[in-house]
Amino acid sequence: MSELIPILSSDEIESRLLDISKKISSDYEGKELVLIGILKGAFVFLADISRLLTIPVTIDFIRVSSYGDTTDSSGHLKLINDIELDIKNKNVLIVEDIVDSGFTLAYLIEHLKSFNPVSVKVCALIDKKERRKKNIKVDYFCHEIEGGFLVGYGLDYAENYRNLQGIYDLKL
Ligand code: IMP
Ligand code: MG
């Protein structure tokens, strides 16, 4: 039997979102900002954080192949859907659910830089810092969590649990 252990309630998530949304709004005041959400996991986080920002933004999505139905990072990534907006001379903020090994972001940062934006920064809901294999700077993060396989608030295991309001550690 699998078990869901509560890690973060929706209130705890919201209070951190308020903090970082204020910081992002002030850092990008007067600049052209494009939020790029990494599908599918970041869809809830992007919807919530974007509505807390007090500056104008445009929004796009990108999709890369993920772990499939296992919980291990392969480091092999494939671009499934590219962005549609023109990000040349704009400031890009990548909105990611979890930064784990860092392979996904290392790949996406290089990819997005090829469109010649002014800047590319990273905003992540969860930073699993201890597990990093690639040197990635997470400019804005909500929570640092060491281990476990997390589900809920957009995060899945084999496409399940994305619609849970809080975040849970899934024990298989
Ligand atoms: P990385 O390339 O190893 O940094 O992996 C990042 C991606 O793996 C994220 O976009 C997540 O979708 C997924 N991921 C990493 N850890 C978890 C987890 O605990 N639960 C669900 N997805 C995860
Ligand atoms: Mg993901």
Per-residue pLDDT of the chain (172 residues; tens, 9 = 90+): 899 999 999 999 999 999 999 999 999 999 999 999 999 999 999 999 999 999 999 999 999 986 555 555 556 788 999 999 999 999 999 999 999 999 999 999 999 999 999 999 999 999 999 999 999 999 999 999 988 999 999 999 999 999 999 999 999 9
pTM (two decimals): 0.94
- Please give the number of the atom of ligand 1 that sits closest to the Cα of 77: 2
Residue 32 CA to ligand 2 center (angstroms) comes to 25
Residue 48 CA to ligand 2 center (angstroms) comes to 17
Report whether 125 contacts 144 (CB < 8 A). no
Residue 98 CA to ligand 2 center (angstroms) comes to 7
CA distance 74 to 166: 27
Cross-strand partners of 98: 126
Question: Is the distance from the beta carbon of residue 102 to the nearest atom of ligand 1 less than 6 Å?
Answer: yes
- Please give the number of the atom of ligand 1 that sits closest to the Cα of 134: 4
CA distance 31 to 58: 12
